[in-house]
Structure 1
Amino acid sequence: MPYSLARLLPRLSFRQLQVFHSVYQHLSYSRAAEQLGLTQPAVSSQIRQLEQALGQPVFEYVGKQLYITAAGERLEQVTRNMFADLERLQMELAEMQGQVRGELRLAAVSTAQYVVPYLLKGFLEQYPQIDVRLEIVNRARATQRLTENRDDLIIMGMPPESGALRSTPFLNNVMVPVVRTDNPLLQLDTVDPQTFLDANLLIREPGSGTRKALEQWCHQKRLTLSPYMQMGSNAAIKHGVLAGLGVAVLPKLSIQTELQLGELACLELEGFPLLRSWCTVHPAAKHPTPVMRAFLDYVQQQMGQLETLVYSEKT
């Protein structure tokens, strides 16, 4: 039998809930122990005490695989909100003292990993008491994290069209047709877009922002998109082009080094480059923390300088 609230509260501790969240994130007692600097028996003991207080298990093993129970899922939702409220309180108390401090939780789609370092360098110089936690995910996972409100902000190129989200563009995402420097297409006086698309096009998986942008452009131009090979990341596609597998459309940021070294070339093609925008995205109903507000303000203040810094004349 679970305890009443009056009897439950003295039997719960923040440490138990912290351990629970770590096990929940990793679905592993050993990895949670490593993250928290505890022994695995200590983690098991904390979870056992938590389950005794709640009157039902929050994790269960099926074979050797650890799974979250329905009770554990519900506990995670409640405690996640509770920890978020406590973190907000900590930030607001620091703000009352004229400080901006706390944790900024960012998630970025994989193509945005080339942009985020430029954002963070100056921001952390201005706000050294802020800790940043950054997750790199694909677009599908980023959209899911938005729905679950797991992050302060998502940085992505093509936000879902939803009135429940607030997106703010801050930097052009320049997408270019890319070939290896010995590709025969470079020897032609002109290349029509369909010829390029038929030259063994390497492309991201369905749902990727890069693929979505190219699909929209092909639809507008009434061109046929028949990919030669699908790959799971822009880095894999870049190396596929370098290996001579085919051609691709990639964010210019992701290939600047290879362009500078003369290993890849941008093909002159009608309709290119494709211009999309990197955006900061968060649920419209989300109340910004002081740390989140500081980051959003910083990004907006640096828009002009960021464009120059990121797209400097390296290529």
Structure 2
Amino acid sequence: MPYSLNQLLNRLSFRQLQVFKAVAHHLNYSRAAEELGLTQPAVSAQIRQLEQAMGQPVFEYVGKKLYVTAAGEQLSRTVDTMFTDLERLQMQLAELDGQVRGELRLAAVSTAQYSVPYLLESFLEAYPQVDVSLTIVNRAQAVERLNTNQDHLVIMGMVPESRNLNTLPFLDNIMVPVVRSDDPLLQKENLSTQDFFNARLLMREAGSGTRHALEVWCAQNRLKLAPRLELGSNVAIKHGILAGLGVGVLPRLSVTAEIKLGQVTIPELEGFPLRRSWCVVYPASKYPTPVMQAFLDHARSSTRELAQRVYGDEA
């Protein structure tokens, strides 16, 4: 027989719900324990107590893989709502006290890691009581995190058109062709964009925003891409260029130091630089928390100052 509401409230604890949320996210007891700073037996004990209070299992193993049960799915939706409401309450109480305080979970595509710190520096100076966590992902992972609502806000360049999203552009992402300064390619007269793409091109992996932007632009301009190597980060491509493996297209910000040192050169090619925008993105159905709204307002008002700080005279 199910417990009454009062009985259930007496048996459940917020700690159990917090542990459940972590296990449901990771589908792994060990990773949940690591996230929460607990031992795996402690996590298992909390879940057993939760299941006893619920009167039903919330997880089950099929083979060696952990799954959420139907009861667990119902609980997950309720817990997400509860924790969101509590988070909003915390921020609203801070607002009543004349402060912006709370948590801000950001995810950013890897190309944005060169610009986001500048934005965060001025934001945290204005709102020192906000706790920010930043996760760096590729574009495919960013889209997945948007779909599963893992973050308050996502920072990306190529925004999906298939979803109803609110989008705030805040800074140009200037993408340039990059060649090692002693590469013989630079001696070629009338170097064309297609010549550049044919010259041992190093490219990001499938799912990367940089690669997606380049593929879309090349398709629009009837240019062919024939990558020599696929590498998993812009840093890896930069070092591949420095090692003489080939050429690449990178965010201008990622090679600022190497340009100043004379290690790499940006050749003048038709169609370049490519200009895209880094954007702050969140689902249109999502109501911004006070901290989210403060970050959005700050990004909107800082656009010109941020461009000057990041690009200087090139802004």
TM-score in terms of structure 1 length: 0.92
The secondary structure found in structure 1 opposite 2:227 is: coil
Contact kept in structure 2, 1:2 and 1:53, CA below 8 Å: no
- Measure, in 1, the Cα distance between the counterparts of 2:297 and 2:11: 42
Whether 1:94 and 2:94 are equivalent positions in the alignment is yes
Q: Aligned runs of 1:180-191 on 2, under 5 Å?
A: 180-191=180-191
Deviation at 1:107, TM superposition (A): 0.7
Change (3 A) 1:226 1:83: same
1:80-99 Cα offsets, whole Å, 9 max, x none, are: 22101110011011111211
In the alignment, what sits opposite 1:7?
A: 7
One-letter amino acid of the counterpart of residue 237, structure 1: I
What is the distance in 2 between the residues matched to 1:32 and 1:55? 23
Give the superposition deviation at 1:247: 1.0
Greater Cα offset, 132-141 or 200-209: 200-209
1: distance between equivalents of 2:199 and 2:39? 56
Offset from partner CA, 1:91-124 (integer Å, 9 cap, x none): 0111112111000111111111111111111111
Distance change >3 Å, CA 214–CA 39, structure 1 → 2: closer
**2: CA distance, partners of 1:166 / 1:108:** 16
- The runs of 5 or more residues in structure 1 that have no matched partner are none
Q: How does 1:268-307 map to 2 (within 5 A)?
A: 268-307=268-307
Cα separation, partners in 2 of 1:189 and 1:76, compared to 1, 3 Å:
same
Matching residue of 1:253: 253
Q: For residue 38 of structure 1, report the CA deviation from its aligned partner.
A: 3.3
Q: 2:312 is paired with a residue of what secondary structure?
A: coil
User: In the alignment, does 2:210 pair up with 1:210?
Assistant: yes
Q: Which moved more, 1:304-313 or 1:55-64?
A: 55-64
Give matches, 1:138-217, under 5 Å: 138-162=138-162, 164-217=164-217
Q: How does 1:84-123 map to 2 (within 5 A)?
A: 84-123=84-123
1:126 maps to 126
1:38-81, Cα deviation, whole Å (9 max, x unpaired): 34332221111011222333334466655544543443333122
Please give the secondary structure, in 2, of the residue aligned with 1:20. Answer: helix
Deviation at 1:34, TM superposition (A): 4.1
Letter in 2 for 1:18: Q
Query: Displacement, 1:15?
Result: 0.7
Deviation of the 1:237 alpha carbon:
1.7
Q: Which amino acid aligns with 1:111?
A: T
Within 5 A, what are the aligned runs for 1:201-240?
Answer: 201-240=201-240
Residues 207, 47 of structure 1: alpha-carbon distance in 2 compared, 3 angstrom cutoff: same
Which residue in the other structure is 2:81 paired with? 81
Q: What is the letter of the counterpart of residue 10 of structure 1?
A: N
**Matches of 1:141 and 1:212 in 2, distance apart?**
13
Paired with 1:32 and 1:147, the residues of 2 have a C-alpha distance of 21
**Structure 1 residues 240, 72: CA separation in 2 closer, same or farther (over 3 Å shift)?**
farther
Q: Distance in 2 between matches of 1:105 and 1:273?
A: 32
34-43 or 47-56: bigger deviation: 34-43
Aligned counterparts of 2:227 and 2:108: Cα–Cα separation in 1: 26
**Secondary structure at 1:228's aligned position in 2?**
strand
- Residues 241 and 70 from structure 1, CA distance in 2 versus in 1: closer, same or farther, beyond 3 angstroms? farther
Report Cα offsets for 1:208-242 as digits up to 9, x if no partner.
21112111221222111222222222222222222
SS at match of 2:121: helix
Structure 2 Cα separation of the partners of residues 178 and 259 of structure 1: 9
Quote the residue 2:44 is aligned against: 44
Gap runs ≥5 in structure 2: none
RMSD over aligned CA atoms reads 2.1
Distance 1:259 1:72 in 2: 54
Q: Which moved more, 1:24-33 or 1:111-120?
A: 24-33
Aligned residues: 314
Q: Does 1:243 align with 2:243?
A: yes
Deviation at 1:26, TM superposition (A): 4.1
Name 1:55's counterpart in structure 2: 55
